[in-house]
């Protein structure tokens, strides 16, 4: 992977697969800033969310990820409010969003994709979208996703119409994500919770994406929080209770990091950042100050001997999500 130099003191920008987009190794995730208390366990006010979006748009990273379905569009609304404050998307900044099924009815049709894109454009205050992901297609079969009149066909039409520049796919099950990549329609991939200090499910998927020239974006390096807060403060991995064996291994990781004076969160983030196959890593934030904190974690000095200790502590394959 070639890093493209940027201004002194900033993070380098890397090519995102074959898209032509240049992005920083950290992408700020817009899920928490929209307020999703059922998922993250806390509320985020509209003003705090907008201030967080503003910090993301003007901070050291040039990549921001959101979705139409986050908080029923509230994440996009708050990002849109921040964009109005600064007069639009900054030069060279990459704002990505995701199209969603109707979360009330489950409708995942091509018509729903058009409605989802139209809603995103309105909330963000934009007339085109540089990067749009098909979000969580595991809620329908692959055959339904690819069927005439289905979501992929609609997104390809929107791309031909110039409303969308680049298409990506974002979801969980690695085998399904690989099937979508093999269609040749997608130039970016988001995998989440499946390439972390604990879970290595996405290893083969990431290899395949790279071989296809698809840009890889790795989300949830903290496994929904446990690899940032530690298992004694937060015992859920990927939004569900972690197995005791997984907790034991994360406790051992926490102790190893402490012995080297390294925050567990720094190791969890840099596990993804140091992988040359991964273009950018998504870190969700809900406060403006988290932007600078994420930059510190991304640049924390970690000795090689700590990586040698952490690597064999990954959970056994039977505990991986796949």
What was the pLDDT predicted at 315? 98
> Does some domain include residue 15?
no
> Does some domain include residue 280?
yes
Phi then psi for 217, rounded to 5 degrees? -120, 125
* Per-residue pLDDT in tens (0 to 9) along the chain, 322 residues: 656 555 445 799 999 999 999 999 999 999 988 876 666 666 779 999 999 999 999 999 999 999 999 999 999 999 999 999 999 999 999 999 999 999 999 999 999 999 999 999 999 999 999 999 999 999 999 999 999 999 999 999 999 999 999 999 999 999 999 999 999 999 999 999 999 999 999 999 999 999 999 999 999 999 989 999 999 999 999 989 999 999 999 999 999 999 999 999 999 999 999 999 999 999 999 999 999 999 999 999 999 999 999 999 999 999 999 9
> Does some domain include residue 13?
no
Whole-structure pTM value: 0.95
What was the pLDDT predicted at 32? 86
Q: Minimal CA–CA distance to 66: which of 40, 33, 91, 42?
A: 33
> Does some domain include residue 250?
yes
Query: Which range of residues forms the domain containing residue 133?
Result: 25-313
> Does some domain include residue 282?
yes
What was the pLDDT predicted at 36? 65
> Does some domain include residue 318?
no
- Count the domains in the chain: 1
What was the pLDDT predicted at 44? 75
- Greatest Cα pair distance, the chain, in angstroms, is 57
* CATH number reported for the structural domain that contains residue 65 in this entry: 3.20.20.100
User: HEC string of 52-93?
Assistant: HHHHHHHCCCCEEECCCCHHHHHHHHHHHHHHHHHCCCCCCC
């Amino acid at each position: 992977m070639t890093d493209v130099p940027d201004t002194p003191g900033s993070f380098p920008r890397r090519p995102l697969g074959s898209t032509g987009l240049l992005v920083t190794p950290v992408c700020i995730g817009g899920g928490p800033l929209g307020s999703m208390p059922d998922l993250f366990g806390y509320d985020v006010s509209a003003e705090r969310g907008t201030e967080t979006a503003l910090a993301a748009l003007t901070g050291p990273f040039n990549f921001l990820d959101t979705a139409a379905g986050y908080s029923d569009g509230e994440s996009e609304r708050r990002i849109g409010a921040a964009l109005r404050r600064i007069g639009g998307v900054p030069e060279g900044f990459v704002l990505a969003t995701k199209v969603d099924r109707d979360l009330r009815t489950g409708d995942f049709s091509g018509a729903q994709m058009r409605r989802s894109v139209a809603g995103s454009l309105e909330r963000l205050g934009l007339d085109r979208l540089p990067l749009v992901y098909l979000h969580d297609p595991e809620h329908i079969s692959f055959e339904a996703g690819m069927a005439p009149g289905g979501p992929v066909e609609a997104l390809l039409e929107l791309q031909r119409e110039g409303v969308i520049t680049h298409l990506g796919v974002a979801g969980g099950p690695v085998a399904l994500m690989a099937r979508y990549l093999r269609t040749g329609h997608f130039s970016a991939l988001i995998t989440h919770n499946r390439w972390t200090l604990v879970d290595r499910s996405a290893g083969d998927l990431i290899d395949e994406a790279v071989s296809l020239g698809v840009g890889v974006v790795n989300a949830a390096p903290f496994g929904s929080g446990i690899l940032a807060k530690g298992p004694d403060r937060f015992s859920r991995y990927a939004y569900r209770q972690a197995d005791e064996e997984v907790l034991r291994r994360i406790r051992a990781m926490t102790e190893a990091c402490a012995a080297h004076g390294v925050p567990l969160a720094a190791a969890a983030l840099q596990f993804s950042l140091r992988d040359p196959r991964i273009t950018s890593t998504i870190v969700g934030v809900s406060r403006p100050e988290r932007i600078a904190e994420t930059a510190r974690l991304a640049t924390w000095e970690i000795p090689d001997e700590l990586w040698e200790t952490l690597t064999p502590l990954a959970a056994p394959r039977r505990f991986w999500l796949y």
